[in-house]
Structure 1
Amino acid sequence: MKKELTRSEFLRRMALLSGGVGLGISGIPGQAYAALPAGLAASVPAGNALVIIQLSGGNDGLNTVIPAENDTYFAKRPDIAIKKVDALALKNGMYLHPSMTGIKSLYDQGNVAIVQSVGYANPNRSHFRATDIWNTGSDANVVWEEGWAARYLAEKYPAYPISMPAHPMAIQLGSVESLLFQSDMGRFGTVFEDPNLFYQLVSGTLSDDEIPPATLAGDELAFLKQVSSTSIQYSTVIRDGALKGANSVTYPATNLAKQLGIVAKLISGGLETPVYLCTIGGFDTHANQLNQHANLWKQISDAVTAFQKDLKTQNKADKVTLMTFSEFGRRVNQNGTTGTDHGTAAPMFVIGNTVRGGLIGENPNLVNLDSNGDLKPNFDYRQVYSTVLSDHLGLSTTSTAGIFKKSFDRLPIFLNSPLIAEAGVKVTLLDPAPNPASGQVRIQFAAFEAMRIELALFDMQGQKLGSIFAGEVPSGTYTYPVDITQFPAGTYLVSLAASTGARITKRLIIVN
């Protein structure tokens, strides 16, 4: 991102402006934008939010999404491998950790996309450096000082920091601001652990209007002044949102569940903040991994399940997507202390009502490893970020490429994401979602060229029960919500016939 001023020069000049409790030029209060800035795509509904869960320490992907039918997995992990009989079946020989029953239920409803083996070239195994890479969106050999989310927020709020939006641009539940929200333009994140305590802490505080000196200490003072002024402006907004909002479910008594409960309350209270960050630590499982890893994923699964139920009950689920990331995965081989050491690629979870659901990418290859004996990635992590930015947060593909200084192919994560055509494939029919289904089911197909499509529902005896769609379609992805309340419980077939000669059938279980 082009910068006209250095960080220190900019912050010193902004100290006077930001000292007036978030007032803009000539004392005009900052306002939220009524229209989308040019870098945002209008095809995505306004007001969508991304909730990021950082898994600090390096999550062991192979014991999270488990290749429990792969003999090599058990050979390399004789003491810590999780058996197929204990795990939760997905498909294609992959299973979830047995502690993840809540996430498995969401997966069965079509609300969980699992992107397998995510990483980047020349991976770094240092906690600090690897975390910086994931937070900034850089290559391994490039050091950036601005977070990828901060660069997105700079696109969304182009008048910041001269004019402050009415609602916080980003919220982090914690105590130390992540690099994710830091920028040469200033701080985009508001950091707190409890909204009411945060308000009490800054209530009555005033910012001074003295410009800091042009020294190293002055640079730090300028930054602190901006932190103070932003906190003062948003403390009341956050407090009011928390008071107005509510939780419709009881959350588990864990720190992550508390964080997600606060996020849900703020969203239900009307906050239009587009990015939230929650964190759970403890994933650096060098020793005695089994119990610790199981407990961590139970906490995550239970907290996420409560969060999703809360959002759905309050009719907020269609606008919120949750995404996990960790700085790296673990090694394929267990170590000598029944744990795992720092590795490379690992799965990412994207959860929400508008995700396509299912496994994305090939299963981890435990034989064809890199030169260090670690997993090779199927996907670059910025492919996931780019997909979320474009297909959920509505950033244009041009602006998304600008954030990462290069373009990354999007993945079929969301219902509005482009599907990827396999070699020789002209049409594809996705699994019905959810499946089993009651009330309504979502049927989706993609045509990779213009063709005629006939999509219909059959019983198991081959009798046609009704047409879902029939007609000519151009290249694209098509989704049809189908009312199935009139059909008795049982097993049915969704059939697609194309003018290309292709015929695809998917099984649908109805549990009305």
Structure 2
Amino acid sequence: MKRRDFLKYTAPASLLPSFINGFSIQAFAASPMLSALQNVADDNDHVLVMIQLTGGNDGLNMVIPLDKYGQYQNARTNIAIPEGSVLRLQNYNKAGLHPSMTGVQELYDNGKVCLLQSVGYPSPNFSHFRATDIWLTGSDANEVLSTGWGGRYLNYEYPNYPAGYPNAEMPDPLAIQIGSIVSPAFQGPANTMAMAVTSATDFYNLINGIEDPVPNTKAGNELKYIRLIAKQSNKFADSIKLAAGKVTNQGEYPQYHLAQQLKIVARLVAGGLKTRLYMVSMGGFDTHASQTNSGDTTTGLHANLMEQLSSSIKAFMDDLTALRASKRVMGMTFSEFGRRIMSNGSMGTDHGAAAPMIVFGDYAESGVLGNTPEIPDAISASANIPMQYDFRSVYGSIIEQWFCVNYGDVQSVLLKDYQSLPIVRPQACGLVTGVDPNNPIGDTLISNYPNPFTTKTKVTYTTKGGYTLIQVFDTTGRLIKNLVDSHQAAGDYTVDFDGERLPNGVYYARFQNGMHQQVRTMLKVR
């Protein structure tokens, strides 16, 4: 029996969340048994809103490393944010936010934001198209999957979809996306698990019953016929209109494209739509040139993007709070890759690897997860931020902790065993999760000697037992070798790393054990 099904029978109704995921604007369905078994209201199921930042967001100028500010400034002499302009975070002095992100800063200080440092995957791809596909499907860099990670989850939860849907228990779309096509993230083994709303204009036309007039021509007659068939096949239009009609008074939103998408999501969630996954998006993040203004690096293209993102999220959360729907919603940002550590000569940044993610909501485990990125003193133009967390660990942790799916089933959805991270507060599922209260922050879990080394070095590490992974990466993020990839008893271990055939330079040793991980710099010299 699924843990979620078990909880439906045993736990209080107020403690039972559902799964949600989305892209552009997407929505997934709730469990059909929840209301029947527990007699709960329509608006008590959990929702995940995914915000896709297309183009590759510069995470190093979004979350600025204050404890490594000298190295950061040295690597980005022409675009670095002045230290005095960085927005400080409450009770955390190692990093701060871009000065345009006052909205997210306020949410963080109010305990509603989790910042995850250096999220990526081994051997990253720097093509927009391929990297996006990797993030949406949850694949490795060297494999191509035909299903999306959200689609696989929905297939696990609703294996008979679309047969029998909509029905009395689930009259709503399983997922909604604002965009011209449904994202690959929602492709199931046999069917697309989402519906797309092309734009905000189309949404309001739908709920108001407005259609652009058709010309009195043969082509116009064909268009009328196509619209008729579309209406007949769009089974969920009535439920969307019904939910939207229940909300007539929303808060103020800025006139940004992202904000207007989030406004629609808030309206549907507050209106009681049982959709679980939404996806919205904003573009413009491919900042190869003119990322900042030359006279003031706190202004410019990236500053505008950060302001749009931050103010849109803040307006969304404020609206949900006023509509008494905020406890249903968790939000998450992602981008296909980050940017290089070093800026280029055009006051921009080139395609990179790992970058931070923002998870926000009333039940977000507030704080900063991970250390500030490793930035070598001697930096090269090709150097990337080394990965601390695999992006699929973020997906899996949200499925487990927000949608209350047991860990074994999470592995079947993501196709592999990934690290569980403390992203969501335990109260979200009404039970204690595996969050370790003795997280060894500040302890050295992995080291190597000698360092610097010429040909070989010994890597020493401490595991609490269980699955242990040690990977070595070069500065571009390419996986050099898995030194350890096995289940081990608790204790101290040493393993040899032979770098004789590798070129001189910086390498990163990444240690992962349970919820703990560390990245250490190793330097090979002549």
Is the TM-score greater than 0.5? yes
* 2:80 maps to 1:81: yes
Q: 1:168 is aligned with what amino acid?
A: P
Quickly say closer, same or farther: Cα 1:246–1:297, change in 2 above 3 A: farther
**Aligned partner of 1:268 among 263, 267, 270:** 270
Name the aligned partner's letter for residue 335 of structure 1. N
Alignment of 1:412 with 2:422, yes or no, is yes
**Equivalent residue for 2:105?**
104
**Distance (Å, rounded) in 2 between the aligned partners of 1:94 and 1:118:** 16
Partner of 2:33 in structure 1?
A: 35
SS at match of 1:85: helix
Residues 418 and 392 of structure 1: is their aligned pair in 2 closer, same or farther, counting only changes over 3 Å? same
Asked if the contact 2:30/2:276 (under 8 Å) is kept, the reply is: no
Q: Deviation digits for residues 365-411 of structure 1, max 9, x if unmatched?
A: 01198994111111000111011111112222121100111111211
Q: Which residues of structure 1 form unaligned runs of 5+?
A: 1-30, 38-44, 204-223, 426-447, 449-512
Indicate conservation of the 8 Å contact 1:356/1:413, yes or no. yes
Helix, strand or coil: the match of 2:94?
Answer: coil
| Structure 1 segment 77-476 matched on structure 2, within 5 A | 77-90=76-89, 91-165=92-166, 166-192=171-197, 193-194=199-200, 195-198=203-206, 200=209, 228=230, 232-290=234-292, 291-367=300-376, 372-416=382-426, 417-420=433-436
* Residue 244 (structure 1) shift: 1.5
Residue identity matched to 2:185? L
Check 1:198–1:35 CA distance in 2 against 1; reply closer, same or farther (3 A cut): same
Instruction: Specify the SS of the correspondent of 2:234.
Output: helix
Aligned-pair CA distance for 1:421: 5.9
Partners of 1:50 and 1:338 in 2: CA distance = 35
Alpha-carbon distance in 1 for matches of 2:366, 2:359: 8
The answer to whether the Cα contact below 8 Å between 1:285 and 1:293 also exists between their aligned partners in 2 is yes
Deviation at 1:424, TM superposition (A): 6.6
Q: Contact 2:175–2:277 (CA<8 Å) still a contact in 1? A: yes
1: distance between equivalents of 2:402 and 2:109? 21
Which AA in structure 2 matches 1:277? M
Q: 1:490 maps to what in 2? A: none
The CA deviation string for residues 139-159 of structure 1, in whole angstroms up to 9 with x for no partner, is 110100111011111122222
Q: Tell me, what secondary structure is at the counterpart of 2:52?
A: strand
Name the CA shift for 1:86/1:201 in 2 (closer, same or farther; >3 Å): same
The one-letter amino acid paired with 1:89 is R
The separation in 2 between residues aligned to 1:124 and 1:145, in whole angstroms, is 18
1:177 Cα offset (Å): 1.6
1:282 maps to amino acid: G
CA-CA distance at 1:422 after TM superposition: 5.6
Q: CA RMSD in A?
A: 2.7
Structure 1 contact 146–179 (Cα < 8 Å) conserved: yes
Tell me how far 1:253 sits from its aligned partner.
0.8
**Cα pair 2:172 2:239 within 8 Å, conserved:** yes
Residue 161 of structure 1: how far off its partner (Å): 1.6
Q: CA–CA distance in 2 between the matches of 1:316 and 1:342?
A: 38
Q: 1:57 aligns with which of 51, 55, 58?
A: 55
Structure 2 SS opposite 1:283: coil
SS in 2 for 1:94: strand
> Residues 77 and 415 from structure 1, CA distance in 2 versus in 1: closer, same or farther, beyond 3 angstroms?
same
Q: Which amino acid aligns with 1:58?
A: G
Give the aligned residue type for 1:275: L
Q: Give CA deviations for 1:317-375 in whole Å, capped at 9, x if unaligned.
A: 11100000000000000011000000000000000000111100011001198994111
| CA–CA separation in structure 1 for the residues paired with 2:405 and 2:380 | 34
* Structure 2: gaps spanning 5 or more residues: 1-28, 36-42, 213-225, 293-299, 427-432, 442-463, 465-526
In structure 2, the CA distance between the partners of 1:196 and 1:114, relative to structure 1 (3 Å rule), is: same
Work out whether residues 247 and 265 of structure 1, in 8 Å CA contact, stay in contact via their aligned partners in 2.
no
Counterpart CA distance in 2 for 1:389 and 1:243 is: 30
Report the secondary structure of 2:339's partner residue: coil
Q: CA deviation at 1:95?
A: 0.9
1:182 is displaced (CA, Å) by: 1.7
Deviation sequence 1:428-470 (CA, Å, 0-9, x none): xxxxxxxxxxxxxxxxxxxx9xxxxxxxxxxxxxxxxxxxxxx
Corresponding pairs, count: 368
Q: Percent of aligned positions with the same letter in both sequences?
A: 41
Amino acid at match of 1:235: A
174-183 vs 341-350, greater mean Cα deviation? 174-183
Contact 1:161–1:185 under 8 Å retained in 2: no
Q: Partners in 2 of 1:265 and 1:136 — Cα distance?
A: 28
Does the 8 Å contact 1:245/1:267 carry over to 2? no
Cα deviation, residue 32, structure 1: 6.9
Alignment correspondent of 2:66? 68
User: How far apart in 2 are the matches of 1:33 and 1:288?
Assistant: 48
The residue identity in structure 2 corresponding to 1:274 is: R
Per-residue deviation at 1:315?
1.5
Amino acid at match of 1:411: L
Moved more, 301-310 or 45-54: 45-54
* Deviation of 1:46 (Å): 5.9
Picking from 34, 46, 49, the partner of 1:48 is 46
Distance in 2 (CA, whole Å) between partners of 1:248 and 1:300 is: 19
> Could you state the TM-score of these two structures normalised by the residue count of structure 1?
0.68
Distance 1:371 1:289 in 2: 17
Which string of whole-angstrom CA distances, capped at 9 and with x for unpartnered residues, describes residues 285-305 of structure 1? 000002111101101111110
Distance 1:327 1:230 in 2: 36
SS in 1 for 2:176: strand
Is the 8 Å Cα contact of residues 342 and 381 (structure 2) preserved in structure 1?
no
1:468-491 deviation per Cα after TM superposition (whole angstroms, max 9, x unaligned): xxxxxxxxxxxxxxxxxxxxxxxx
- The structure-2 alpha-carbon separation of the partners of 1:229 and 1:136, relative to structure 1 and needing over 3 Å to count, comes to farther
Q: d(CA) in 2 for partners of 1:255 and 1:95?
A: 26
Change (3 A) 1:352 1:229: same
Q: What is the distance in 1 between the residues matched to 2:159 and 2:44? A: 16
